[in-house]
Amino acid sequence: MTDNLWGYQPAAGHTVGTDLIGYKVEATDGSIGKVDKHSDDVTSSYLVVDTGVWIFGKHVLLPAGTVSRVDNDEKKVFVDLTKDQIKDSPEFDKDKHIGDADFHRTTGEYYGRHRRV
């Protein structure tokens, strides 16, 4: 099941190749920031979210499987996580962790525990 965590859910409405940079990201309980980077790699799709002042400029890595819906008209991405679940996620450093297999595994384990099936 964790393999699916790194792929978009079919019902999310994301089309591979759509540029999500700049889209607002909405948790189940409010806005958390904007998409700074994303990947559509088949086995490793993710979003990097710039949380801005919400958690002091922290960036977070969200596996694509946490995305519940993409609204291209509103330029918003909705995720199946609360703000606290995102805030408590593994610390992400975009200069170190992109492509880091250990960080990828740790992040997958963290979000896998919080995933709704």
3-class DSSP state of 117: coil
Task: Name beta bridge partners: 49.
Answer: 35, 60
Tell me the average pLDDT of the chain.
89
Which residue ranges make up each domain of the chain? 21-112
Q: Which CATH class is domain 21-112?
A: mainly beta
Phi, psi angles (nearest 5°) of residue 102: -65, -45
Over residues 34-49, mean pLDDT = 91
Query: What per-residue confidence (pLDDT) applies to 56?
Result: 67
- Within 8 A by CB and 6+ apart from 58, the residues are 51, 91, 92
Q: What is the pLDDT of residues 99-110, one digit of tens each?
A: 888 998 999 999
Residue with the larger pLDDT of the pair 34 and 4: 34
Query: What per-residue confidence (pLDDT) applies to 63?
Result: 95
Give the DSSP per-residue string, 77-104.
EEESS-HHHHHTSPPB-TTTSTT-HHHH
Q: How far apart are CA 15 and CA 103, in angstroms?
A: 26
Query: What per-residue confidence (pLDDT) applies to 18?
Result: 93
Over residues 73-101, mean pLDDT = 90
Give the DSSP per-residue string, 3-59.
HHHTS--GGG-PPTT---TT-EEEETTEEEEEEEEEE--TT--EEEEE-TTTTTT-E
10, pLDDT greater than 80: yes
pTM: 0.90
